[in-house]
Amino acid sequence: MIKTSASLLASNLAQLALEISRCKKSGVDWVHFDVMDGVFVDQITYGSPVLKTVRASTDMFLDVHLMVEDPTKQIAFFAEAGADLITIHVESFCDIAAVLKDIKLYDKKAALAVKPNTPIEAVYPYLHLCDMVLVMTVEPGYGGQAFIPETIEKIKSLRKTADNAGYKTLDIQVDGGINEKTAELVKKAGANVLVAGTALFKAENMKAVCDELKKPV
Ligand code: DX5
Ligand code: ZN
């Protein structure tokens, strides 16, 4: 089953609760919460106090994407604020295995993200600690960018490697430039959790776009 995760970055942040209920009504599965620290990426977005208010306003699955230089200290904050899944970057400066284990200690799903220019092999030593791998399909930092087609091969290799290693239920998430057209490519390659910001929030009909993204290939 294909899932969609709506990136709040493209929503009307002054009306967060309304935007999230619009997602739920449209059949979106998860809410994607992009945390940027101004160091790992240029911009600064929002942190765990904001996630806490989001948690209070919805029962939707909250998917937290940490684009921060060192996520070590952040796990407790986001777990306690109500995250359901926490993603850290393999390029961040921390003990990757220890932080993934820490996420699991809080009884949350754990995921590892990889930037477009990082070889997919970088995540392989950690697959046993991951519920999901996020293959970035744009350079992290900004919403509304164009999909990078070279990432397709990384998704294919990851799906093959995970299957061969017995991780048949590993979720593969993609994030960046996902719309009705690029969705087909990533699903064919083996991705099953599609993040979309612009395509969902700027759509005239969010439900129609969501249905299209979730269509099996
Ligand atoms: C980029 C973020 C993405 C972004 C996706 O750093 O991780 O989640 O919001 O936005 P779209 O779907 O507009 O490319
Ligand atoms: Zn993201």
* Euclidean distance between CA atoms 69 and 36, whole angstroms: 9
Total domains in the chain come to 1
Q: What is the pLDDT of residues 99-157, one digit of tens each?
A: 999 999 999 999 999 999 999 999 999 999 999 999 999 999 999 999 999 999 999 99
Average per-residue pLDDT in the chain?
A: 98
The alpha helices in 26-112, defined as continuous H runs, are 48-57, 74-81, 96-105
Token pair 């929030």 is found at 201
Phi, psi of 189 (to 5 degrees): -75, -20
Whether 59 is catalytic is no
pLDDT tens, residue order, the chain (217 aa): 999 999 999 999 999 999 999 999 999 999 999 999 999 999 999 999 999 999 999 999 999 999 999 999 999 999 999 999 999 999 999 999 999 999 999 999 999 999 999 999 999 999 999 999 999 999 999 999 999 999 999 999 999 999 999 999 999 999 999 999 999 999 999 999 999 999 999 999 999 999 999 999 9
| Residue 16: predicted pLDDT | 97
Give the residue numbers spanning the domain of 100: 3-213
User: Does any ligand 1 atom lie closer than 6 A to the CB of residue 32?
Assistant: yes
Ligand 1 atom with the smallest distance to the CA of 65 is: 7
Structure tokens at 118: 């990082």
- For residue 203, the ligand closest to its alpha carbon is 1
Give ∠ CA 73-71-167 in degrees, rounded to 5: 120
Ligand 1 atom with the smallest distance to the CA of 8 is: 9
The alpha helices in the chain, defined as continuous H runs, are 16-25, 48-57, 74-81, 96-105, 151-164, 180-189, 198-201, 206-214
We report the CATH number of the domain holding residue 28 as 3.20.20.70
| Residue 154: predicted pLDDT | 98
